[in-house]
């Protein structure tokens, strides 16, 4: 699979979903530089590895979680090589019985469908219903790779731009967690 890294938004936006274009519009408005690679839907590890190779960034697993009562929602960013353990995270954030949230909440709050979960979705959470949780190891890399709210493109951004410009713009706080991932 030959993936080409492009600087910035696509020159031809024909056939692109509005939610993807809104991500590029916001990043451009905020002055955040980014690189992009277009690809088939990232639904298996072979495609994901090829994307990782093209982006040369810290690739995150982005997990959309909720408490048992479905009253608290979380977006967890962890390095793709760590294993998520509910008990380990629950103790750090004071919320027991975490599970994966239903797709309808993901769409309602973040305007994202399963397979496309990304920190970029926080731009759509104007009600700030989702709490951002970030494993400390995510912050160590120079770049972060994520989807622009769809899973047929991936973007690479400077980690500091994501957490010093983008996330504050959305009005979300970042809670740093430490997961062993073993």
Three-state secondary structure call for residue 41: coil
In a domain, 153, yes or no: yes
Q: What's the mean pLDDT in 128-144?
A: 95
CATH number at residue 169: 3.90.960.10
pLDDT of 40 reads 86
Q: How many domains is the chain partitioned into structurally? A: 1
| pLDDT of 162 strictly over 90 | yes
pTM, full prediction: 0.93
pLDDT mean across residues, the chain: 92
**Burial category of 45 from C-beta neighbours within 10 Å (exposed 0-12, middle 13-18, buried 19 and up):** exposed
In a domain, 1, yes or no: no
pLDDT of 97 reads 85
Write the pLDDT tens digit of every residue in 93-116.
988 789 999 999 999 999 999 889
In a domain, 182, yes or no: no
In a domain, 132, yes or no: yes
pLDDT of 46 reads 74
Q: Which domain holds residue 139?
A: 6-177
């Amino acid at each position: 699979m030959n993936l080409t890294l492009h600087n910035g938004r696509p020159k031809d936006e024909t056939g692109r979903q509005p939610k993807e274009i809104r991500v590029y519009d916001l990043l451009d408005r905020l002055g955040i530089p980014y690189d992009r690679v277009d690809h088939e839907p990232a639904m298996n590890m072979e495609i994901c590895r090829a994307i990782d190779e093209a982006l040369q960034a810290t690739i995150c697993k982005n997990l959309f979680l909720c408490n048992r009562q479905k009253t608290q929602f979380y977006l967890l960013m962890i390095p793709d090589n760590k294993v998520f353990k509910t008990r380990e995270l629950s103790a750090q954030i004071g919320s027991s019985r975490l599970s994966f949230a239903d797709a309808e909440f993901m769409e309602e709050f973040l305007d994202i469908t399963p397979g496309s979960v990304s920190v970029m979705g926080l731009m759509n959470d104007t009600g700030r219903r989702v709490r951002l949780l970030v494993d400390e190891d995510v912050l160590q890399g120079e770049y972060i790779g994520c989807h622009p709210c769809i899973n047929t493109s991936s973007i690479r951004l400077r980690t500091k731009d994501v957490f010093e410009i983008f996330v504050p713009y959305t009005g979300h706080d970042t809670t740093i967690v430490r997961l062993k991932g073993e």
